[in-house]
Each structure stands twice: as structure tokens, then as C-alpha cells.
């Protein structure tokens, strides 16, 4: 199929490469010249401006947006509405908030343009292993462009990637990322407990490597940690600062709206917040109170 990919970074670029390998025709656009040159070497046609989409001579035009959620995706979506024709299709493969996706779906519908939301998981390993996709929107449009999704996913997915109406694909991906927060935090805390049991002089790399096979907690995340520990036993090249891209926050907001408790995911997000604080005042306040009511010793910062 002919597919225009807007955003050729780590995810978008690998999606382009994987589709090219399966004989799809890819037209790529990115504001970064280097990214465009890399994908061009793999056989993609590169355009220098989004405006060039208008002159492409095939129909319907299918445009996959692979950009960070937020303003840049919104601007690109609005721009595409002016460039595309009735019957054309936009796929949002980024981590857009599902509520915004539903509004965009209705806006696109007013222009007689179809919007499909595609939760995309697999990170930089998707090129090798295939992507886990969850797709929302009009089912007949999903079925029309299924060859694209089949080329991107593991063979055993068999095309069964459609989850429901508009917004559902991004909703499922949001919950997936919330679960990911909790799993990552549990693994990190467990390894810290191992590290701090100094009397045993535990070899973290060997222990985590052992967990990779036959263990109840074996997982891709364990595999990734094992690889890093084998390379650097103390992970000295990493800082303890942990960012978040928003999906965990949205998951917690959803839990509040639905009245569904999510204590693990919530605690995992708050742990990330704490990781970014240098000498937080809350700890100083706790020390001050302990000194005040119990005369406990205060350690100087």
C-alpha cells in the first residue's frame, strides 16, 4: 500500500523501514534533514514539505502521524485536514489522549476524512520483533488498511488488532502504559532490596539473569535490566532521574473518574516525581517534626 509517514524518529523511522521491507511504498516527511536522509537510503520517497502531499497522485491518501502527543500532533492534524480530500485516512500512531482523539475523529468526519487511532507499543525493538498495536475507529476503515497493520505486527497477531470505536485504541494503550509503570517500579524496588542486603554480597547481574528463564516474573523488562546489569553491574552510567510521558497521569485520572482504585500505578508515578527532586523540602519537614516532638538527631544536608 501507499503510506505517508509524518515523523521519522526512532519509532516512525523503524515503522517506515519495516513497511518498506514488506514492499509497501513509503513517502516520508520529517523536519529533521538527517532523519529524512536515513529513511531515504532504505527506499522511501522523501517530501520536503507537508504541502507536497497535495500533489501526490494516488487515492485514498493514508497518512500515519508518528509524533509526540500534544501541540505538534494537533498542528499536524489540523494541517492535514486542509491538505487531504474526502475519503482520505489519517492514522495517529502516537500516544494521544483518547478524549482528544474522539474530538479529532468528529472534526475529521466533518471534512469527510477518516481518523484511526493506533496505540503503538514495541519501542525501538519493534523493527525486529514487530509492534503490538491496538486500533480504534471505524471498523471498515481498519479492514481496508489492514495490510499495513499486518506488516507491522508479529505474525501470530493474524490481524486481530481492532479494539473498538474511536479513541479505544489510544485508551487501551494508555492503560497498557499505566501497567508498565507499576511493573517497572516493582522490579526496580526489588533490585534495590537485593543491592542493600550488603551482608550477602549478592551479584545482581547473575540473579536477574537467572530470573529470565523459568521464573514467574520473567519478562521483557527483566531481559532489558539483565542486559544492562551484565554491561554495568552498578548501572553507573544512569542517573536515578525518571521522566514520564503523560500516559500514567492519564491512567490515574481515568481511575478517579471511574472510581477504580489503582494504588500500584499511582505509587509508581509518584515515585517518578520523587526521583526528580533534589533534596526535597518534605524530607526536611519530616526531620524538623521528629526533632520537635522527640528530640531526634538531625543529619545536616
Which residues are tagged catalytic? 173, 180
Of 92, 97, 194, 71, the closest CA to residue 137 belongs to 92
Long-range contacts of 44-52 (CB under 8 A, 24+ apart): 44/5, 44/16, 44/20, 47/4, 50/6, 50/76, 50/79, 50/80, 50/83, 51/83
DSSP per-residue string spanning 160-215: --EEESTTHHHHHHHHHHHHHHHHHHHHHHHHHHHHH-GGG---HHHHHHHHTSS-
CA distance 136 to 116: 6
Amino acid at each position: 500500500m501507499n503510506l505517508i509517514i509524518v515523523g521519522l524518529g526512532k519509532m516512525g523511522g523503524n515503522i517506515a523501514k519495516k513497511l518498506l521491507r514488506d514492499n509497501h511504498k513509503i513517502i516520508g516527511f520529517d523536519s529533521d534533514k538527517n532523519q529524512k536522509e536515513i529513511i531515504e537510503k532504505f527506499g522511501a520517497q522523501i517530501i520536503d514539505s507537508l504541502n507536497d502531499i497535495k500533489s501526490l497522485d494516488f487515492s485514498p491518501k493514508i497518512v500515519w502521524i508518528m509524533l509526540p502527543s500534544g501541540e505538534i500532533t494537533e498542528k499536524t492534524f489540523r494541517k492535514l485536514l486542509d491538505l487531504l480530500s474526502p475519503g482520505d485516512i489519517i492514522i495517529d500512531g502516537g500516544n494521544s489522549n483518547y478524549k482528544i482523539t474522539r474530538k479529532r475523529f468528529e472534526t475529521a468526519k466533518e471534512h469527510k476524512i477518516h481518523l484511526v487511532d493506533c496505540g503503538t507499543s514495541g519501542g525501538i525493538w519493534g523493527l525486529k520483533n514487530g509492534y503490538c498495536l491496538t486500533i480504534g475507529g471505524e471498523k471498515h476503515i481498519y479492514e481496508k488498511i489492514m495490510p499495513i497493520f499486518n506488516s507491522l505486527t508479529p505474525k501470530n497477531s493474524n490481524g486481530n488488532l481492532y479494539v473498538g470505536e474511536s479513541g479505544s485504541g489510544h485508551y487501551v494503550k494508555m492503560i497498557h502504559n499505566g501497567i508498565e509503570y507499576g511493573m517497572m517500579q516493582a522490579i526496580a524496588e526489588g533490585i534495590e532490596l537485593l543491592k542493600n542486603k550488603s551482608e550477602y554480597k549478592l551479584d545482581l547481574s547473575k540473579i536477574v539473569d537467572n530470573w529470565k528463564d523459568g521464573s514467574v516474573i520473567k519478562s521483557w523488562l527483566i531481559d532489558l535490566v539483565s542486559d544492562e546489569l551484565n554491561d554495568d553491574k552498578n548501572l553507573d552510567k544512569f542517573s536515578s532521574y525518571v521522566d514520564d510521558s503523560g500516559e500514567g497521569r492519564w491512567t490515574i485520572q481515568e481511575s478517579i473518574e471511574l472510581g477504580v482504585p489503582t494504588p500500584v500505578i499511582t505509587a509508581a508515578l509518584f515515585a517518578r516525581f520523587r526521583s526528580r527532586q533534589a533534596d526535597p523540602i518534605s524530607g526536611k519537614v519530616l526531620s524538623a517534626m521528629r526533632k520537635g516532638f522527640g528530640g531526634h538527631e538531625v543529619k545536616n544536608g
